[in-house]
Chains A and B, each alone.
Chain A
Amino acid sequence: MNYLYFLYIEFLAKHNIPQIFGDITFYVIPCTIIFIALLIAILALVLLERKLLGWFTQRKGPNRVGLWGLLQTLADALKLLCKENITPNNADKFLFNLAPVIIFIPVMIVLGLIPFSSEFTFMNFQTNLLIYIIVATMPVLSILLAGWASNNKYSLFGAMRNIAQILAYELPIAFTILSITVLASSMNLTQITLAQSSKLGLLGWFFIPCFLGLIIMFICTLAELNRCPFDLPEAESELVCGYNTEYSGMRFALLYLSEYGMLLANALLIAVLFFGGYLSPFGGYLTTGFWIYIEQVSWLLIKTFLIIFLIVWIRATLPRMSSPNLLKLSWSILLPASIINLFLVVIIKYIGGV
């Protein structure tokens, strides 16, 4: 980021623009970029999931709006924008309207923490990873708000299940992330990425020493995102639509899209932690000069896409878990396994370090 900053200031100095302008705009521009990129990515993600699910179930998926249905989600979003926002009579109106507004904030913060390339991290702190796991659990607060304020029994059940689920699955994630921190000796996501670079390419990535951790992390991510087979909070066959049953129009769209935003963010995180982030799988980069940044972003996005593909594949295949088993799985299998994983990683690190 510093490199880009100097380039930008230098560019402004050439045109006799004061540095203070550059200092301000340098942080505004990335925010705008990330917001627009996020919206486009989420819309693309919804389309991607619908297309993939269509192919998995021998359908065509959306194919009417635009070329190959590319504009389908855009059309859906426009439709939702135009729809009336209905607030139920007995709902807590302030909280009901607040929930969809604040659910998007953590999603955007979280995306800003991901290193997209070696020079392209919007918020590069020493403890990026710690901030990530704290902020990534924030949407559950909006979900609780939405569920509670709707004054609907199904919404309340959805929110209740969601909280139980997040509580249960947050701990294994924390232990897995701790093991990654041990391996990389850092809590900065760029440092973690760099710690995975080696001449051997993908053999140096952390999914090899921390394979158990990868599996735990993947399962827990599914649970955190309320994805199948852990989609109990919005199980449509039981709870109609879970916490967003009463929402309509753009508020529903915000709740719905924030889920996809978190899906994108968590897939990016898994790619960074276990699959070398923006590193090339061949050891060295294929391009040179400025193109290297584009290559790095592409590698990260390809890895993310593969992870999302796997998540959609799972959704197309598996039925939903039952609620008591869901908590049992976390507390009695995943949590001990994540602690064992931490020990294993410490031993590997010790042997490797000596």
Chain B
Amino acid sequence: MKKLKLNLGPQHPSTHGVLRLILELEGEKILSCEPDVGYLHRGLEKMAERLSYIQYLPLVDRIDYLASFFYSELLCRTVEKALGIELDKKVCMIRVLLLELNRISSHLLWIGAYLMDLGATSPFFYTMREREMILKLFEKITGQRMMNNYFVYGGVRHDIFALDDIECIINTIEKKILDYENIITENPIFLQRTKNKGIISKETGLNGSITGVNLRASGINLDLRKNDYLYSDINYKSIILETGDSWDRYKARILEIIESCKIVKQTLDYLQKTSGLKQNLINPIGIKLPEGSFYSEIEAPRGLASVYIKSTGEKTPYRLKWRTGSYYAVNLLRKLLINEHLNDAIAIAGSLDIILPEVDK
């Protein structure tokens, strides 16, 4: 049979942005896959070399528009580490609370979008409804729905409020998760499309630098939150599943939402008891990092995210490098899609939770 070359993207409804996959097909079977990224490159790393640290802080929210708190936290954390700033416990708790709410909203969007990839339209609206509650809350607290810019070096912009709203939202989400489980998880067609499809073995996952939920669904216990100082007082369990197929990645995200709800509840307990906010804010104008290189990492919804800053003691970093989870997931598509049917290829690519702005930066 003659081979057919197919450009899946960059304008295609299910590539979640502008991913381009160059596929070689025989019939509908995929012979090779070549991901082509960079259509959304905004030069965020190069921009850092021109901007002072406080000018750069609002920009990092744009790296992953679905998990903006994480990247904000990452930059704050690195600068705080470099300058030796200690955070008050309440500030830590506020940050954990918002990070976990952000993780929930990110996973909710993924569930909807993934089911949309599989052809089911309704779950998208259901998960968006719950995500909307979280976004409205973010707007109330930070003034922005998505690019929040709430964390600052040494603390948060202002004290948190609307704790009752958060409690209400978390209770609703915990209830609604059961609905998703009813309509999606055991659906025979969903099982058919996802069980034993796109299996990432432990070795493939580790060799491909896959992190986060995708790796934990393959059975490897790598959860950076366990060693994170923000999460030191919080009890939760990492979700580790066995096979690493698409269904496991789905289930892991569902379970992770439930765990995140528990974490949010713990922080709420603490925040409701304490009043007043002690921050160690620094003068944002003219922040200079000492000479040397600084690195920190965090467990973002799409895997390990880290930042490396090399400073020469100037107002701007000499070099700044982001590491994001999705980039490695895109790379893994080369291996995962071989010999799959075109129609499973979308299901597999979707299950990795690829966000293109995060890939291209």
Give the distance in Å from the alpha carbon of A318 to the alpha carbon of B184 in the complex: 8
With beta carbons under 8 angstroms apart, the residue of A235, A238, A319 that contacts B115 is A319
Query: Does residue B183 face the partner (Cβ distance < 8 Å to A)?
Result: yes
B190 & A317 in contact (Cβ 8 Å cutoff): no
B13 adjacent to chain A (CB < 8 Å): yes
Q: How far is the CB of A335 from chain B (nearest CB, A)?
A: 19
B126 touching A229, Cβ below 8 Å: no
- Contact assessment for B120 and A317 in the assembled complex, using a CB-CB cutoff below 8 Å: yes
Q: Does B341 contact A (CB under 8 A)?
A: yes
Out of B121, B124, B183, B341, which one reaches A323, CB within 8 Å?
A: B341
Q: Which residue of B lies closest to A321 (CB)?
A: B189
Q: Which of B12, B28, B129, B187 contacts A319 (CB 8 A)?
A: B187
Q: Closest A residue to B115 by CB, please name it.
A: A319
Residues of A within 8 A of B125 (CB): 57-59
User: A24–B359 Cα gap in the complex (Å)?
Assistant: 69
In whole Å, how far is B351's beta carbon from the nearest beta carbon of chain A?
Answer: 13
Tell me the minimal C-beta distance from B70 to chain A in angstroms. 27
Q: Are B28 and A323 in contact, CB atoms less than 8 angstroms apart?
A: yes
- Number of B residues with CB within 8 Å of any CB on chain A: 32
- A228's nearest neighbour on chain B, judged by CB, is B119
In the complex with contacts A240-B12, A240-B13, A317-B183 CB distance below 8 A = yes
Q: Flag whether A237 is at the interface (Cβ < 8 A).
A: yes
Chain B residues, Cβ within 8 Å of A325: 192
User: For B6, what are the chain A residues with a Cβ–Cβ distance below 8 Å?
Assistant: 153
Distance between Cα atoms of A243 and B124 in the complex (Å): 25
Q: How far is the CA of A157 from the CA of B13 in the complex (A)?
A: 16
The B-contacting residues of A in range 29-43, CB under 8 angstroms, are none
Query: Interface residues of B: mostly helix, strand, loop or mixed?
Result: helix
Asked if B342 and A319 sit within 8 Å, CB to CB, the answer is: no
Residue of B nearest to A153 (CB): B6
Which residues of chain B come closer than 8 Å to A323, judged between CB atoms? 28, 341-343
Q: A57-B126, A228-B119, A238-B343 are in contact. Are A319 and B189 (CB under 8 A)?
A: yes
Q: Does B171 contact A (CB under 8 A)?
A: no
Interfacial chain A residues near B118, Cβ < 8 Å: 237, 319-320
| Residues of chain B contacted by A58 (CB below 8 angstroms) | 125-126, 129
**A322 contacts across to B, CB distance below 8 A:** 192-193, 341, 343-344, 347
**What is the total of A-B residue contacts with beta carbons within 8 Å?**
79
Of B126, B192, B342, the residue contacting A321 (CB under 8 A) is B192
Whether B4 contacts A229 by the Cβ 8 Å rule is no
Residue A212, interface by CB 8 Å: no
Which residues from chain A contact B187 at a C-beta distance below 8 Å? Answer: 318-319
A237 and B13 in contact (CB under 8 A), knowing A153-B4, A317-B122, A322-B341?
Answer: yes
Interface check B258, CB cutoff 8 A: no
Return A43 CB to nearest CB of chain B, in Å: 22
Q: Does B72 contact A (CB under 8 A)?
A: no
Chain B residues lying within 8 Å of A324, measured Cβ to Cβ, are: 341
Question: Chain A nearest CB: distance from B314 CB in Å?
Answer: 48
Whether, in the assembled complex, A10 has its beta carbon less than 8 Å from a beta carbon of chain B, the answer is: no
Residues of A within 8 A of B124 (CB): 57
Residues of A within 8 A of B13 (CB): 236-237, 240
Taking a contact as CB atoms closer than 8 A, the residue among A157, A235, A240 that contacts B119 in the complex is A235
Beta-carbon contacts under 8 Å, B178-202 to A: 183, 187, 189-190, 192-193
Cα separation A240 to B9 with both chains bound (whole Å)? 10
Q: Is A316 positioned at the interface, with any CB of B under 8 Å from its CB?
A: yes
A325 to B191, CA, bound (A): 12
Asked if A53 is an interface residue, CB under 8 A from chain B, the answer is yes
- A-B pairs with beta carbons under 8 Å apart, 6 shown: A228-B119, A232-B343, A236-B14, A237-B118, A320-B193, A325-B192
Q: Which A residues are within 8 Å of any B CB, using their own CB?
A: 53, 56-59, 153, 157, 228-229, 231-232, 235-238, 240, 315-325
Using a CB–CB cutoff of 8 Å, the interface residues on chain B facing chain A are 4, 6, 12-14, 28, 115-122, 124-126, 129, 183, 187, 189-190, 192-193, 341-347, 350
User: Contacts A153-B4, A322-B347 given; 16 further ones with Cβ under 8 A?
Assistant: A57-B124, A57-B126, A157-B28, A228-B119, A235-B119, A237-B116, A238-B14, A240-B12, A317-B120, A318-B119, A318-B187, A318-B189, A319-B115, A321-B193, A322-B343, A323-B343
